Structure 1
């Protein structure tokens, strides 16, 4: 499963027209993203005193910004199925930084991310403002993180996490790690919670490597971001919502992880 990481994509140099697209798309995307963040923070000033942890308004701002991002990139966003109405969480395969835009555009969710993301320049600030849950990989943090998960789930937040634990080239699904699924088998949550598997399928631009949108291994965010901005004829991303899985129908976290993985993998085609 690991050998694919050793075969890098050979990109053609970005030409003058490509750099022009980088500049204008980058500027517009930056204005829309951080302008939207400003609106979100202003709305949150009113929303928080009235609703506390609940966020009935601000997720709509995030969705609007993410829809606008795909319009700016001229990249098609295709949504199949519907986000579940039941209480619970979503899990998806992880291929790219574009996953965040695609999933936020398709559903009102709160991401679960590794704690390092909170310190990333620009991205960490956005993640914190939009309600991302940060987790540490240290075993000593497990109980605290489980309590945090429970608190957010009981507040009605729809959490979304990537059980593969890393991003891929976008052409395959890695085995799901079952650790985070344990939170759904505590204090009666298994009797009321559902998990909805979601598959992200990327279609590369014509004449580009099929892995074009994948961001993995030692790829830098900046380099990959520039390549996507520079592309004249973009491809597409398809977000497929599968039938929710009732947690109580699975014997344990490993069974739940395996069932979700099978649904996500089946839609990769």
Structure 2
């Protein structure tokens, strides 16, 4: 079975980029590259001090990540809104996954660390950024389940707020597909389930006027390069809203499946609004 989600509807065919579009690619792309990789250099330099002093904890560098993501969204021209409040205590975030833009929209809202499939680590540019910002990479092999669970626990105990995409894949941004409950198991270990909270988050994208409603989705056989060029060349951008639902305590749920089902219901309610 493919790990990627495929729609029953055909993927939209993007028109060729015009000369004006290529000009926008340059005018948007150059500042974005400077901001992202300038921030990356600063982050790596600070990690040289932060790592030996604080170990897994990162008291300074997440602020750089957040600032870079906010500036990048502004340079793209994406209108950005946050509803609700990020939780203050120890815990994890679960959200729907529309596409690679989620990296910026979620990081801009609060200090988090993504949990991502391991192949992302080898992607050009995105992989470098993910590793530098503390992303946790996981494999889909059952033999790695215990090691991954132990890694989650270590990061959660260090106070990291991990962000999971329980759908396991990105979509067309218009729907939420069933959550996989496997990753929720780490929350129920002794010593964690009594202190952790989980906050469901809905990501809602609005396409630019006149564009396909699935404009910000990334699914099927779509590739990163063409998707990036499409966003850079776009005459205008739409909007993104990050909706923070009320956090819930892990100890209030009997098992991982019931917690996953609750979070799925909350996230879907924010995304698939009438």
TM-score where L is the length of structure 1: 0.97
Kindly tell me: are residues 165 and 177 of structure 1, through their superposed partners in 2, closer, same or farther at Cα, counting changes over 3 Å? same
**Cα deviation, residue 3, structure 1:** 6.8
- Change in 2 beyond 3 A, CA 1:28/1:175: same
Partner of residue 16 from structure 1, selected from 9, 14, 19: 19
Gaps of 5+ in 2: none
1:13 shift after superposition: 2.4
Match of 2:269 in 1: 266
Counterpart in the other structure of 1:197: 200
Work out which of the residue numbers 213, 230, 235 in structure 2 matches 1:232: 235
**1:129-179 CA distances to partner (integer Å, 9 max, x unpaired)?**
100001111111111111100000000000001000010000000000000
Total equivalences in the alignment: 268
Residue 250 of structure 2, aligned match among 247, 252, 255: 247
Q: Deviations over 1:70-121 (max 9, x none)?
A: 1111111111111101211000000010000000000100000111111112
Which structure 2 residues correspond to residues 67-216 of structure 1 after superposition, within 5 A? Answer: 67-216=70-219
SS of residue in 1 equivalent to 2:227: helix
List gaps (5 residues or longer) in structure 1: none
Structure 1 range deviating more: 200-209 or 119-128: 119-128
Q: Which residue of 2 aligns with 1:4?
A: 7
Tell me the equivalent position of 2:41: 38
1:54·1:157 contact (CA, 8 Å) conserved in 2? yes
Rounded to whole Å, the distance in 1 between the matches of 2:260 and 2:121 is: 26
Separation in 2 of the partners of 1:13 and 1:129?
34
8 Å CA contact 2:121–2:128 kept in 1: the answer is yes
2:259 corresponds to which of 235, 256, 259: 256
Conservation of the 8 A alpha-carbon contact between 1:110 and 1:133: yes
User: Stretches of 4+ moved more than 6 A in 1?
Assistant: none
Q: Secondary structure at the match of 2:98?
A: coil
> How far did residue 26 of structure 1 move?
1.3
* Structure 2 counterpart of 1:64: 67
Helix, strand or coil: the match of 1:79? strand
Distance 1:3 1:67 in 2: 30
Residues 7 and 220, structure 2, Cα contact 8 Å, conserved in 1: no
Structure 1 pair 233–170 and aligned structure 2 pair: CA distance change class (3 A):
same
Instruction: Determine the C-alpha separation between the residues in 1 that align with 2:32 and 2:219.
Output: 23
